[in-house]
């Protein structure tokens, strides 16, 4: 994305009073946190073994899809499997022990290039989302099984608002682009979230001291362990014990599949 285009998106978001979620960001803050807010810093591992449900469905031969991917011996095994772009597909949330208020600012979700940014979003119920179409054609977003967010045209550059209802998991799809899928996890305990870097590093800002739990989410589900943390003032660093998003047995099986050249093939 060019600096000019990104600047236009930021200015439009400010005019609309939104908190933008832009491109390949390394972190997202739901509310404007004070400078003294503590951060929970950590690191993710095993995220390359996560599989996006869209990919899993695409390689199913019963769906009559097509794949031109073939194992290449000169490519390292760890890169032969498609893996998620975690700066927008994995959301790390810090969960409080008591319910948190709904976010006062709306969150901007960009829709373009066959995906949303972000893909996974964890927030409190009552938060307003504003979907902005950055494609040159219309989109018809809807929430699966939800009558309050049904398919409706959103033209080029247009926006559409939706307020996250009660606690639960909501899957957003698009009639105009069937492969587009987004997950919104509504949890009243959300105190802060962040999106990791491609190295898996994250820093979640939290305004108040107290006891919290750190949990990663991917494709609408919890992944990896829930880690308790206590914030008393300065930043808390839990990176010495990385959050492993995939268990060891699954990792070993995936490595074996890669070594045999079958990690991408449909069965």
Q: Is the pLDDT of residue 157 over 80?
A: yes
| CA-wise closest residue to 241 among 27, 37, 39, 41 | 41
Report which of 101, 103, 95, 99 is spatially closest to residue 211, judged by C-alpha positions.
95
Residue 191 confidence (pLDDT): 96
**Residue 217: pLDDT over 90:** yes
Give mean pLDDT, residues 27-43. Answer: 63
Number of Cβ within a 10 Å radius of residue 33: 14
Helix (H/G/I), strand (E/B), else coil: 11 = helix
Where is average pLDDT lowest: 44-48, 92-96, 229-233, 259-263?
A: 259-263
| Percent of the chain predicted with pLDDT > 90 | 60
pLDDT exceeds 70 at position 131: yes
* Per-residue pLDDT band at 143 (split at 50, 70, 90): very high
In the structure, what pLDDT confidence band is assigned to residue 54 with cuts at 50, 70 and 90?
Answer: confident
Q: What is the pLDDT of residue 8?
A: 52
Whether the per-residue pLDDT at 165 is higher than 50: the answer is yes
Q: pLDDT averaged over the chain? A: 82
The span from the CA of 143 to the CA of 181, in Å, is 10
Q: With 80 as the cut, is the pLDDT of residue 30 above it?
A: no
Domains of the chain: 3-64+83-259 (2.60.40.420)
Encode burial over 167-192: b for 16+ CB neighbours within 10 A, e otherwise: eeebbbbbebbeebbbbbbbbbbbbb
């Amino acid at each position: 994305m060019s600096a000019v285009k990104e600047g236009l998106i930021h200015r439009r978001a400010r005019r609309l009073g939104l908190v933008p979620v832009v491109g390949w960001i390394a972190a997202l803050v739901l509310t404007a946190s004070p400078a003294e807010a503590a951060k929970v810093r950590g690191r993710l591992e095993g995220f390359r073994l996560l599989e996006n449900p869209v990919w899993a469905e695409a390689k199913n031969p019963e769906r009559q899809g097509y794949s031109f991917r073939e194992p290449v011996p000169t490519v390292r095994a760890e890169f032969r499997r498609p893996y998620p772009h975690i700066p927008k597909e994995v959301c790390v949330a810090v969960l409080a022990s008591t319910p948190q208020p709904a976010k006062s600012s709306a969150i901007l979700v960009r829709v373009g290039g066959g995906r949303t940014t972000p893909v996974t979003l964890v927030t409190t119920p009552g938060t307003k989302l504003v979907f902005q179409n950055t494609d040159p054609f219309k989109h018809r977003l809807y929430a699966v099984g939800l009558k309050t967010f049904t398919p409706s045209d959103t033209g080029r550059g247009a926006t559409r608002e939706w307020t996250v209802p009660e606690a639960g998991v909501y899957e957003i799809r698009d009639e105009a682009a069937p492969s587009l899928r987004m997950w919104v996890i509504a949890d009243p305990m959300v105190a802060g979230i962040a999106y990791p870097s491609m190295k898996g590093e994250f820093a979640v800002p939290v305004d108040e001291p107290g006891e919290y739990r750190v949990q990663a989410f991917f494709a609408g589900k919890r992944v990896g362990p829930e880690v308790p943390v206590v914030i008393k003032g300065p930043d808390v660093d839990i990176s010495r014990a990385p959050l492993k998003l995939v268990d060891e047995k699954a990792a070993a099986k995936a490595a074996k599949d890669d070594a045999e050249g079958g990690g991408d093939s449909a069965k």
